[in-house]
Amino acid sequence: PTHHHPFPMPPPPPSMAPSALPSRTSHRHSLRSQAPPPPREATVPCCVSRRRAAAQLLLSAGLLTAVSSSPPALAARRGRRTIAPEDYASTPDGLKYYDLIEGKGPTAEKGSTVQVHFDCIYRSITVVSSREAKLLAGNRSIAQPYVFTVGSLPGKERKRDFADTANGLFSAQASPKPPRAMYMITEGMKVGGKRRVIVPPDLGYGKKGQGEIPADASFELDIELLEVIPPTDS
């Protein structure tokens, strides 16, 4: 005879169900799949200074050119002509010059009072210029032509009284001191002309130098003749 249990047997708990117990192999596989990926190599940005970063921005914008160019290329970019050494003429005193522009006005003769602009260039850098005459009152700069007598002793015209003008209190010869060669080489130029001169140390700034021009150094001198007052008959 079949015996029936008076009470039905309860189902096994879910934790004991065979399907709820993963195998050790599947457990290891899940742990391996959940493992974090290996760390990537950290990229350390290169330290760039502010000046270099600004230069890179200007280079990308086309506003700055490389500074590794040769001096002739630098002069060409600044609008200055590069003259070959064999193209220069020589004076009896040994000064070498080249007329960049032939003037068409009156000629500067010995004893004439002339008005010029001059620039002393050393290694493609303008060191001394009448276009940057310094005011004694204030920090402004003005382009004041230089006035002197052709063939006179250098520096004689600089001993003048101060003059009070609308620009402020400044010397009548506020421009920097020109080299000796300028008093000699201006003779023969015509108004409107521009002349470039190779100035040797003995006709330049000698053993003292001037600003960034060192002692016993040669440099280029650019002269622009603005006006000529003929010598008086006396």
In this structure, are strands 146-149 and 113-122 parallel, antiparallel, or unpaired?
Answer: antiparallel
Distance of CA 200 to the CA centre of its chain: 26
CATH number of the domain that residue 116 is part of: 3.10.50.40
Residue 33 lies in a domain: no
Residue 222 lies in a domain: yes
Most confident stretch, 35-44, 85-94, 212-221: 212-221
Rounded CA-CA distance 35/181 in Å is 84
DSSP label of 199: E
pLDDT confidence of residue 169: 44
Rounded CA-CA distance 84/6 in Å is 126
Residue 82 lies in a domain: no
Confidence of residue 93 (pLDDT cuts 50, 70, 90): confident
- Say what the pTM is: 0.60
Q: How many structural domains comprise the chain?
A: 1
Question: Residue 215 sits in which domain range?
Answer: 96-157+177-229
Residue 96 has pLDDT above 90, yes or no: yes
Residue 122 lies in a domain: yes
Q: Residue ranges of the alpha helices (H) in the chain?
A: 24-33, 50-61, 71-77, 181-185
